[in-house]
């Protein structure tokens, strides 16, 4: 199911990406509107991280292209922040929590610019938003996995951009942190920002996201979340791995119920 939008913020056109000649994204085509939380969903190896990296132009596609605000990424990079998947980051890198979050201010200050008071204030505020203000001086190597994840989110917040690409931001964070980050994301979209999130848990996906991109090398769907809550689409995305589906059965049956539960 492919719902194309008018006035897209992100356009992906016929994108094919290969590693060692083996395609991991195949002829992907979709468009996304601004001001919403968008989930990218699919099994391990589906190409979710590759898709984010392609949108950031960190990988050269074999064919196709991506546009953001109708422009090539290099013209709008300053409007985008990217949170990589936790596993892909070198956490032994010697830096304090505050150093990492201040890195989010590079783009504004330039590599050799000095941070000013405002940068420090924004960094502190960003750490407060993810509940990490008590760890300012701690080395990032000495944080738990969930705390590291939250510091990376704070770095993205400190960038104060329009578009956020987040690769599994909820991996390893506890339930109450997950809820507060989600609330923060909702506030951000209400302020017109757009958040693209790679996410693993299907059950919560239908509650969290306004729009869903279902991916398994090929694009299975790009549509409002409610329309993605469909047995055959989920089955196509996850192949034969069906224990997931039984848990989803009730959700699908009760599709008429409002999906956004009030907490
Ligand atoms: N640098 C690389 N070189 C070769 N193959 C790669 C590389 N990075 C990823 N791949 C392969 O490309 C495919 C897609 O990988 P990708 O990391 O995009 O998947 P994913 O959907 O993010 O998976 P996960 O849920 O495990 O994070 C996988 O089969 C993976 O093994
Ligand atoms: Mg990944």
Q: What is the pLDDT of residue 246?
A: 59
Contact criterion met (CB below 8 Å) for 203 and 251: yes
pLDDT band at 238 (very low <50, low <70, confident <90, very high): confident
**Closest ligand to the CA of 59:** 1
Adjacent-strand bridge partners of 10: 32, 68
170: pLDDT strictly greater than 70: yes
Nearest CA to ligand 1 atom 27: 44
Q: Per residue in 120-168, pLDDT tens?
A: 999 999 999 999 999 999 999 999 988 999 999 999 999 999 999 999 9
Going by CA atoms, what residue is nearest to atom 16 of ligand 1?
Answer: 47
pLDDT level of residue 201 (50, 70, 90 thresholds): confident
The protein residue with its alpha carbon nearest to ligand 1, atom 10, reads 19
Region 227-247 average pLDDT: 77
Give me the domains of the chain, ranges plus CATH numbers.
Answer: 10-253 (3.40.50.300)
Indicate whether 192 pLDDT > 60: yes
Does the pLDDT at position 71 exceed 60?
yes
- pLDDT of res. 114: 75
pLDDT surpassing 70 at residue 28:
yes
* Contact between residue 159 and residue 122 where contact means Cβ atoms under 8 Å apart: no
Nearest to 123 by CA among 112, 114, 110, 132: 132
**Tell me, what DSSP letter sits at residue 113?**
P
Ligand nearest to the CA of 84: 2
- Look at residue 11 in the predicted model and tell me its pLDDT: 97
**Per-residue pLDDT band at 180 (split at 50, 70, 90):** confident
Which numbered atom of ligand 1 lies nearest the CA of 87?
A: 27
CB proximity list for 106: less than 8 A, separation 6 or greater: none
Tell me what the pLDDT averaged over the chain comes to: 89
Specify whether the CB–CB gap between 4 and 175 falls below 8 A.
no
- List all residues whose CB is within 6 A of at least one atom of ligand 1: 19-20, 24, 42, 44-50, 85
Q: Which string of b and e fits 116-155 if b means at least 16 CB within 10 Å?
A: eeebeebbbebbebbbbeebeeebbeebeeebbbbbbbbb
């Amino acid at each position: 199911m492919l719902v194309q939008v008018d006035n897209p913020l992100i356009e992906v056109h016929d994108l094919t990406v290969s590693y060692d000649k083996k395609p991991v994204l195949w002829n992907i085509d979709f468009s996304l509107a601004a001001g919403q939380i968008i989930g990218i969903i699919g099994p391990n190896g589906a190409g979710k991280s590759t898709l984010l990296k392609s949108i950031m132009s960190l990988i050269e596609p074999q064919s196709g292209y991506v546009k953001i605000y109708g422009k090539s990424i290099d013209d709008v990079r300053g409007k985008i922040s990217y949170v990589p998947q936790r596993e892909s980051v070198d956490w032994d890198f010697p830096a304090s929590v505050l150093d990492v979050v201040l890195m989010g201010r590079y783009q504004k200050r330039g590599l050799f610019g000095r941070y000013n008071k405002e940068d420090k204030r924004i960094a502190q505020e960003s750490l407060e938003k993810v509940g990490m203000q008590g760890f300012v001086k701690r080395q990032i190597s000495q944080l738990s996995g969930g705390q590291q994840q939250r510091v990376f989110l704070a770095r993205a917040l400190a960038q104060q951009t329009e578009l956020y690409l987040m690769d599994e931001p909820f991996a390893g964070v506890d339930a109450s942190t997950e809820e507060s980050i989600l609330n923060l994301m909702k506030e951000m979209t209400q302020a017109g920002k757009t958040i693209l999130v790679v996410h693993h848990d299907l059950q919560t996906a239908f509650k969290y996201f306004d729009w869903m991109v279902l991916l398994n090398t090929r694009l299975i769907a790009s549509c409002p979340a409610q329309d993605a809550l469909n047995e055959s689409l989920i089955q196509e995305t996850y192949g034969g791995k069906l224990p997931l589906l039984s848990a989803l059965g009730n959700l699908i049956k009760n599709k008429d119920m409002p999906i956004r539960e009030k907490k």
